[in-house]
Structure 1
Amino acid sequence: MNDSNAPQFTRDFLTDGYISYTFGPRDAEGYLVQLFAVDAASVRAIRHQSGAFYVLNRPSHNSPPALLVNGQDAWLLDYAVRTGGSVVPQQLWPSQGQGDRRRYVDQAQFSMPVFFINASGSLGVPVTNAAAGDMQLHGVNLPSQLADKTAMTIRISWPGYPLPEHQVQLRDQAPTRNPITLERFVKIVGSRVKQFLLDCERVPVQGPPSNWIVGHGNITSDEVMLIGLVQVSAFGWMPILQLMSRVVL
Structure 2
Amino acid sequence: MFIDAPVSTFSLRIEWPGYRLWTGKFRAKNWGGTNAPVTRARLVSQLGRRIAEFIEAMEGVECADLAWKVGSKNIKVDNLVLVSLIRVSKGSWQPVIRLLA
Alignment TM class, shorter chain as reference? 0.7 to 0.9
1:177 CA drift (Å)? 2.1
Find out whether 1:212 has 2:52 as its counterpart: no
1:242 counterpart SS class:
strand
1:162 is aligned, of 2, 12, 20, to: 20
Q: Which has more strand, going by share of residues?
A: 2
Contact kept? 1:154, 1:238, Cα under 8 Å? no
Counterpart for residue 98 of structure 2: 242
- Structure 2 unmatched runs, 5+: none
**Among 29, 34, 46, the residue aligned to 1:188:** 46
Q: Percent identity?
A: 31
RMSD: 2.3
Larger of the two Rg values belongs to structure: 1
Deviation at 1:238, TM superposition (A): 3.6
Partner in structure 1 of residue 57 of structure 2: 199
Matches within 5 A, 1:74-223: 142=1, 146-149=2-5, 150=7, 151-174=9-32, 177-205=35-63, 207=64, 209-223=65-79
- 1:212 deviates by 0.8
Residues 230 and 156 of structure 1, relative CA distance in 2, 3 Å threshold = farther
Matches of 1:236 and 1:180, distance apart in 2 = 15
Question: Unaligned regions of 5+ residues in structure 1, if any?
Answer: 1-141
**TM-fit CA distance, 1:243:** 1.1
Deviation at 1:233, TM superposition (A): 7.1
Structure 1, 147-156 or 229-238: larger mean CA deviation: 229-238
**2:68 is paired with a residue of what secondary structure?**
coil
* Conserved 8 A contact 1:155-1:239: no
Please tell me the residue identity of whatever aligns with 1:170.
A
Structure-1 separation of matches of 2:83 and 2:18: 21
* Alpha carbons of structure 1 residues 214 and 174: separation in structure 2 relative to 1, 3 Å: closer
Displacement of 1:168: 2.2
Q: 1:224 touches 1:241 (CA, 8 Å); kept in 2?
A: yes
Post-superposition shift, 1:229? Answer: 3.0
Q: CA deviation at 1:202?
A: 2.6
